[in-house]
């Protein structure tokens, strides 16, 4: 468990991490596709039947939506200090994501002609929030607030109501974040309702948020009908450390990721064998004290790894190849490494920037690319809730100078109607 290996074995570790997402889900996919088709065909009737079956909630058109009274009761039933923390976290997230907003722009290309680009928010977004006994208010904030910053006018939440009850913390977080409506529905049927619309549930054009394998597969199935954020895999953290790193802090950060589930991957990459050995010992010592010890031990046994490299540059190269969801840089000068980092979902620099800070409070988004997809994708952000449209305005004078080039290009592709469209405006 928690083996220490040399850097020349790092490729083996990368392959093992990627295999976490290679399970055969064909049986679950068949169930999901059946539910989606049924909701698409029968709307509310199918949605209500699945909700009663899976959530033990006798839902109808009158009680599927969280009411103002239920919102008030949720606030009353949530710890006051937690409400204050969620409000401050929401403010931090909003400030950060507002910096991502873009402005429409235009450019004069001569003779009164103008080109430009418009940033247009999607009309509606559906945010899925897991239900059951656990509540994940941080995910509620992280999914809703970027949509609000993007200018989305209709933001809806779907969350399972087990026995008809929604976790009050989830309701409070959704209200704080700015959700417009909250629906008591979960699973693949909720994703289908958002994708196709029913009499009681409005259709959306974007669906985001985490969920179990059925929710993830449902999002994958409806992609194309609607946009989605990503298909997230198991969580992961990679720590780059030199001899200056605080072993106790690193071990705690390592374990904060391992407690997610048995598939969570935790990797330490260092150029110091002493750090490798002492950190391993500290991780195993702290693991014994955790409430989720069994999950942590399973995670460490399955995917916990310490890699010893020749130098820090090689540590960075290994990290870039793995492209971790979370990257912690625990070196004497973390800022010096920042220009060398090419692939990471979110980067945490220094001893006092632990990964949970980003999960809950700092303001950066914790919906991050996993399983190496940080090589080509980004955290959830305002751009995910906006479209970009090009804009063209040509005057007669400008087009007269250039229509023959358009005509020539169209004829080269054998598209005579395109050529005619350009030329007809200047025929005698």
- Rounded-to-integer distance, Cα 359 and Cα 244, Å: 25
- In angstroms, rounded to a whole number, what is the distance separating the alpha carbons of residues 168 and 166? 6
Pairing mode of beta strands 113-121, 386-393: antiparallel
What SS3 class is residue 156?
strand
Catalytic residues: 325-326
Q: At what angle do helices 137-150 and 168-177 cross, to 10 degrees?
A: 20
Burial code (b: 16+ CB inside 10 Å, e: under 16) for 94-123 equals: bebbeeeeeeeeeeeeeeebeeeeebebbe
Phi-psi region of 413 (alpha: psi -120 to 50; beta: other; left: phi over 0): alpha
Environment class of residue 427 by beta-carbon count within 10 Å: exposed (0-12), middle (13-18) or buried (19+)? Answer: exposed
Q: Look up residue 65 and give its DSSP letter.
A: B
Output DSSP code: residue 366.
-
The token pair that represents 395 in the structure block? 């005057």
Q: Rounded to an integer, what distance in angstroms lies between the CA atom of residue 372 and that of residue 366?
A: 16
Written in H, E and C, the secondary structure of 90-140 is HHHHHHHHHCCCCCCEEEEEECCEEEEEEEEECCEEEEECCCCCCCCHHHH
**Neighbour-count burial for 383-422, b at 16+ CB within 10 Å, e otherwise:** ebbbeeeeeeebeeebeeeebeeebeebeeeeeeeebeeb
Contacts of 99 (CB under 8 A, 6+ apart): none
Could you tell me the two tokens for 101? 């907003």
Report yes or no: 65 and 156 within 8 Å, Cβ to Cβ: no
Residue 206 burial by Cβ neighbours in a 10 Å radius (0-12, 13-18, 19+): buried
How many CB atoms lie under 10 A from the CB of residue 175? 20
């Amino acid at each position: 468990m928690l083996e220490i290996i040399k850097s020349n074995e790092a490729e083996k570790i990368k392959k093992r991490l990627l295999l976490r997402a290679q399970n055969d889900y064909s049986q679950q996919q068949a169930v999901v596709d059946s539910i989606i088709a049924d909701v698409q065909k029968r709307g509310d009737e199918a949605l209500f039947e699945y909700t009663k079956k899976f959530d033990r909630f006798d839902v109808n058109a009158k009680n599927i939506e969280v009411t103002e009274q239920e919102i008030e009761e949720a606030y009353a039933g949530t710890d006051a200090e937690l409400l204050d923390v969620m409000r401050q976290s929401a403010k931090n997230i909003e400030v950060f994501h507002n910096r991502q907003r873009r402005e429409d722009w235009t450019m004069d290309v001569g003779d009164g002609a103008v080109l430009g680009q418009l940033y247009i928010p999607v009309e509606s977004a559906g945010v899925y929030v897991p239900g059951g006994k656990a509540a994940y208010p941080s995910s509620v904030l992280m999914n809703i607030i970027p949509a609000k910053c993007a200018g989305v006018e209709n933001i809806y939440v779907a969350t399972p109501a087990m026995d008809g009850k929604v976790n009050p913390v989830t309701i409070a977080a959704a209200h704080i974040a700015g959700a417009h409506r909250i629906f008591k529905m979960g699973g693949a049927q909720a994703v289908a309702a958002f994708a196709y619309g029913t009499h009681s549930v409005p259709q959306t054009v974007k669906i985001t948020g985490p969920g179990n394998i059925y929710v993830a597969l449902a999002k994958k199935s409806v992609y194309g009908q609607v946009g989605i954020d990503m298909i997230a895999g198991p969580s992961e953290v990679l720590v780059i450390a030199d001899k200056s790193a605080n072993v106790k802090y690193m071990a705690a950060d390592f374990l904060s990721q391992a407690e997610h589930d048995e598939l969570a991957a935790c990797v330490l990459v260092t150029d110091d064998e002493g750090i490798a050995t002492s950190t391993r010992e500290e991780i195993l010592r702290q693991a014994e004290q955790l409430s989720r010890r069994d999950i942590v031990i399973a995670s460490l046994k399955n995917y916990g790894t310490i890699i010893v490299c020749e130098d820090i540059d090689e540590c960075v190269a290994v990290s870039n190849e793995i492209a971790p969801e979370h990257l912690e840089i625990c070196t004497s000068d973390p800022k010096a490494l920042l220009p060398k980092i090419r692939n990471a979902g979110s980067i945490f620099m220094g001893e006092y920037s632990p990964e949970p800070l980003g999960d809950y409070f700092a303001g950066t988004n914790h919906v991050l690319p996993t399983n190496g997809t940080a090589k080509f994708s980004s955290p959830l952000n305002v751009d995910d809730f906006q479209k970009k449209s090009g804009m063209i305005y040509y005057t007669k004078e400008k087009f007269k100078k250039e229509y023959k080039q358009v005509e020539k290009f169209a004829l080269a592709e054998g598209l005579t109607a395109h050529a005619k469209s350009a030329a007809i405006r200047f025929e005698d």
